[in-house]
Amino acid sequence: MAGAPAAVIFETLRDRICLLDYPPGTVLREAELAREFGVSRTPMRSVLQRLSHAGLIESRDGVGTIVTDPALQETRDVYQMRIRLAELIGSMSPHPFGPGHTHALGGLEERAAKLLDCFDIREYWRINHELHILIAGIIGNSALRQMWDHLYFQAARMWYQHARSAPEDVAIALAAELAEVARAVEENDAVALGYVQRNHISYGLTRLEAAQREIVE
């Protein structure tokens, strides 16, 4: 990946963190990453600053740059904010739906159905990521869209950790979510789309809290 653009490096490292290729506590070494991506340390430093702003890494004296480990309360706060934001999708100048949305969702539904028989965490990630991009593209208010995108990646790590331990559960939930999103799009109902997202984010939080209680007990 020699000479990779900064945006590509950022997305690659972000995805590694969200997929737990870099689990919490992993030390990210600027020089090593710069060599891997074939860039100087200056653009790599800029990428790490963006990841820090996204809440995915932090600098610690005497340790270096490490992947953060969000506490349950922090995750709960992020999910609760996402629940509220989802309710605004249909009321803040959403972009109109089109045939492209219906076609894309049909493809995602077909791919999600395959996860029910053979779960693959990276395909699960790709489907969720493409759904996120589709919904973000419908959000008409730029400030809402930016916050929606920012909080999605903050929440993703905890959910993918759960996905690894309960693949059947999350595969079923994803298939149901996609079916409901497709129905809202077919009916050209952005308000319903927002509430579909709200309900599934709330469901996700409930499952995370239940999993955490099982660990404690």
Q: All domains of the chain, ordered by start, with CATH?
A: 6-67 (1.10.10.10), 72-216 (1.20.120)
Cα–Cα distance for residue pair 11/98, rounded to 1 Å: 27
For a pLDDT cut of 70, what percent of the chain falls above it?
98
Q: What is the pLDDT of residue 63?
A: 79
pLDDT above 90 (res 8): yes
Q: What is the pLDDT of residue 148?
A: 96
C-beta atoms surrounding 40 within 10 Å: 8
Residue type, 109: E
What's the gap between Cα 46 and its chain centre? 21
Q: Which two three-digit tokens encode residue 85? A: 């934001």
Cα–Cα distance for residue pair 47/41, rounded to 1 Å: 10
Q: Which residues of 170-182 are buried (b: 16+ CB within 10 A; e: fewer)?
A: bbebbbebbebbb
What's the gap between Cα 47 and its chain centre? 18
> What would you report as the CA-atom Rg of the chain, rounded to the nearest whole angstrom?
18
**Highest-confidence range of 17-26, 53-62, 98-107, by mean pLDDT?**
98-107
Q: What is the pLDDT of residue 211?
A: 78
pLDDT above 80 (res 192): yes
Q: What is the pLDDT of residue 208?
A: 86
